[in-house]
């Protein structure tokens, strides 16, 4: 317990120590210390009161196997998480893992009743439960956007996560273990923690107590700005051990805006590969500056090539920020949206230049198919899939195909498939041993199946065949 609350204890101890260091010199100094602590407490109370109405509890209901082996059955499961409203028109950010697989999603909004005179009750009314629509999910960052059909909803603004500092005081809001609208306090332990080597996704590490159910709730600075979305914890016990991770607000902002506008995330690139300049590389290439980034490959006719970037260029800064290694470059580029421009400060031999390069969409991003479909034309309702015919245009976007016909999955409207059973870009070639050469074929075959029939689809993914099996609902 001491470890979990150490931030609060240390902060209060610090304030008390600073204020009481001269307590022996008189009662006046002691009174000043009490006033300082009281003021600090009032500031946190006011901040919590302002933040809490925009924090919601999320209830996700779905189906999962119960039991084991041959006796396993599908049973209804209900899980909870947290979210934060970022738009008064009801747009909410949470974690993808909170709602992924849900057949029904609901949101508990904070109660907003008329103001009453007199002393308020310490027991606040329960919030309203309303239905929520999943606007979009991004598994790569574990973020999702929901929407409730409400207006004038209390909301918060995203802050600048580049401005947060190690040791800064933060508050974590959410519904840990289902305890609606709780708040805990801690400090920022690290500002850019990578959980896997070379992973462009980074996290804000905090020791603010975060437990199951906090996922999707906001990490807030003392100004009331959302600087992160609480995502995961490292724990040996299953509870908080002071090692929690939040998706930084600058990445959240990019993902939120894209999911809100397009329903998916378009990944950016500049058409160049980069490496860290090692001491050995610097010596062999005659580079005076070490710890920088060198361009190892430029894609012909890509954005970087068209802008004038060349193999061997040494990159010193990206948008004014010094680049110390290739990983840092990828992390900073990761949160740039397609259509943005970046300014690279480079050195070519003895010449220093600034190059402006457009961020373009990754050519291999399967999510791009979702912009080519509409529910009216492309939906296979009983499968919950939006599909496209594998014509010449689509074929050019899917290299290495072994069978040149089928139905291409553009997106999933239902999220009850387990794991990666169906993914955008998969090509369905057969269903229960019946050939699928078009979306029309797929619809015809499905129309002949009954509820709870066993279904096996043969799909092709990145040049490899595999089977996907499930029970038709």
Q: Looking at 215, 240, 246, 430, which residue is catalytic? A: 215
Q: Looking at 7, 82, 97, 316, which residue is catalytic? A: 97
Tokens of 404: 């040149």
Check if 97 is active-site.
Answer: yes
Check if 21 is active-site.
Answer: no
CATH number of 50-111+125-265, picked from 2.40.10.120, 2.40.50.140, 2.60.40.10, 3.40.50.920? 2.40.10.120
Q: What is the residue-level pLDDT of the chain in tens, covering all 473 positions?
A: 434 445 554 455 544 554 445 544 556 666 777 778 888 888 889 999 999 999 999 999 876 655 544 444 556 678 899 999 999 999 999 999 898 878 889 999 986 655 566 666 666 677 889 999 999 888 888 999 999 999 999 999 999 998 999 999 999 999 888 788 889 999 999 988 888 766 778 899 999 888 888 899 999 999 999 999 999 888 766 666 788 999 999 999 999 998 998 887 888 889 998 888 888 888 888 886 555 889 999 999 999 999 999 999 999 999 998 888 888 888 888 888 888 999 999 999 889 999 999 999 876 666 667 767 777 788 898 888 889 998 888 887 776 788 989 999 988 765 555 555 788 889 999 999 999 999 999 999 999 999 888 899 999 987 889 998 888 87
Per-residue pLDDT at 317 = 92
50-111+125-265 and 366-471 share one fold: no
CA distances from 128 to 53, 57, 108, 350, 438 (A): 12, 10, 5, 65, 45
CA dihedral 13, 18, 20, 26 (to 10 degrees): -170
Per-residue pLDDT at 367 = 65
Q: Looking at 7, 79, 82, 142, which residue is catalytic? A: 142
HSE-up of residue 363 (Cα within 13 Å, Cβ side): 9
Q: Radius of gyration of the chain from Cα atoms?
A: 26
Tell me the C-alpha distance between 10 and 18, whole Å. 12
Per-residue pLDDT at 138 = 86
Per-residue pLDDT at 112 = 66
- In 10 A of CB 28, how many CB atoms? 10
Per-residue pLDDT at 355 = 95
SS3 letters for the chain? CCCCCHHHHHHHHHHHHHHHCCHHHCHHHHHHHHHHHHHHHHHHHHHHHHHHHHEEEEEEEEEEEECCHHHCEEEEEEEEEEEEEEECCCEEEEEHHHHCCCCEEEEEECCCCCCCCCCCCCCCCCCEEEECEEEEEECCCCEEEEECCCCCCCCCCECCHHHCCCCCEEEEEECHHHCCCEEEEEEEEEEEECCCCCCCCCEEEECCCCCCCCCCCEEEECCCCEEEEEEEECCCCCCCCCCEEEEEHHHHHHHHHHHHHHCCCCCEECCEEEEECCHHHHHHHCCCCCCCEEEEEECCCCHHHHHCCCCCCEEEEECCEECCCHHHHHHHHHCCCCCCEEEEEEEECCEEEEEEEECEECCCCHHHHHHHCCHHHHEECCCCEEEEECCHHHHHHCCCCCCCCCEEEEEECCCCCCCCCCCCCCEEEEECCEECCCHHHHHHHHHCCCCCCEEEEEEEECCEEEEEEEECC
Per-residue pLDDT at 3 = 46
Tokens of 416: 């009850």
CB-CB contact of 432 with 399 (8 Å): no
Per-residue pLDDT at 190 = 92
Per-residue pLDDT at 26 = 57
Q: Which residues contact 424 (CB under 8 A, 6 or more apart)?
A: 366, 367, 369, 370, 409, 410, 411, 412
Q: Where are the domains of the chain?
A: 6-49, 50-111+125-265, 269-361, 366-471
Sign of the CA dihedral with 287 first, then 289, 293, and 298 last:
negative
What is the CATH T-level fold of the domain 366-471, as seen in this structure? Pdz3 Domain (2.30.42)
Domain 269-361: CATH superfamily is PDZ domain (2.30.42.10)
Check if 215 is active-site.
Answer: yes
């Amino acid at each position: 317990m001491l470890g979990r609350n150490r931030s609060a204890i240390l902060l209060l101890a610090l304030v008390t120590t600073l204020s009481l260091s001269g307590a022996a010199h008189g009662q006046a100094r002691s009174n000043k210390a009490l006033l300082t602590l009281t003021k600090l407490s009032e500031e946190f109370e006011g901040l919590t009161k302002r933040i809490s109405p925009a924090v919601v509890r999320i209830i996700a209901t779905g189906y999962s196997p119960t039991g084991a082996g041959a006796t396993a059955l599908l049973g209804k499961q209900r899980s909870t998480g947290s979210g934060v409203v970022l738009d008064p028109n009801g747009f909410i950010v949470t974690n993808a893992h909170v709602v992924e697989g849900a057949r029904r999603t609901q949101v508990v909004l904070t109660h907003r009743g008329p103001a009453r005179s007199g002393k308020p009750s310490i027991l606040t009314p329960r919030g309203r439960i309303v239905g929520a629509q999943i606007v979009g999910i991004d598994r790569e960052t574990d973020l999702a956007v929901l929407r409730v059909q409400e207006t004038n909803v209390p909301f918060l603004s995203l802050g600048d996560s580049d401005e947060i500092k190690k040791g800064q005081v933060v508050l974590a809001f959410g519904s840990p273990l289902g305890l609606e609208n709780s708040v805990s306090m801690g400090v920022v332990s690290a500002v850019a923690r990578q959980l896997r080597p070379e992973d462009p996704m980074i996290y804000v590490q905090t020791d603010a107590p975060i437990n199951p159910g906090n996922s999707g709730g906001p990490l807030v600075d003392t100004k009331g700005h959302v600087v992160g979305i609480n995502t995961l914890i490292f724990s040996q016990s299953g509870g908080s051990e002071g090692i929690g991770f939040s998706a930084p607000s600058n990445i959240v902002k990019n993902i939120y805006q894209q999911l809100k506008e397009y329903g998916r995330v378009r990944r950016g690139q500049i058409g160049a590969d980069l490496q860290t300049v090692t001491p050995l590389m610097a010596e062999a290439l005659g580079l005076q500056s070490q710890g920088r980034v060198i361009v190892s490959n430029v894609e012909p006719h890509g954005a970087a090539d068209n802008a004038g970037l060349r193999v061997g260029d040494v990159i010193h800064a990206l948008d004014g920020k010094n680049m110390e290694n290739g990983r840092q470059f990828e992390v900073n580029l990761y949160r740039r949206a397609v259509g943005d421009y970046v300014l690279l400060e480079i050195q070519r031999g003895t010449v220093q230049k600034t190059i402006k390069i457009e961020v373009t969409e990754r050519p291999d991003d399967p999510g791009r198919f979702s912009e080519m479909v509409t529910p009216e034309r492309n939906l296979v309702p009983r499968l919950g899939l939006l599909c496209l015919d594998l014509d010449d245009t689509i074929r050019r976007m899917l290299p290495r195909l072994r069978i040149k016909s089928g139905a291409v999955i553009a997106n999933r409207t239902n999220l009850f498939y387990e794991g990666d059973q169906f993914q955008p870009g998969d090509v369905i070639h057969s269903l229960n041993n019946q050939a699928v050469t078009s979306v029309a074929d797929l619809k015809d075959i499905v129309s002949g199946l009954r509820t709870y029939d066993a279904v096996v689809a043969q799909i092709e993914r990145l040049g490899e065949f595999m089977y996907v099996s499930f029970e038709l609902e």
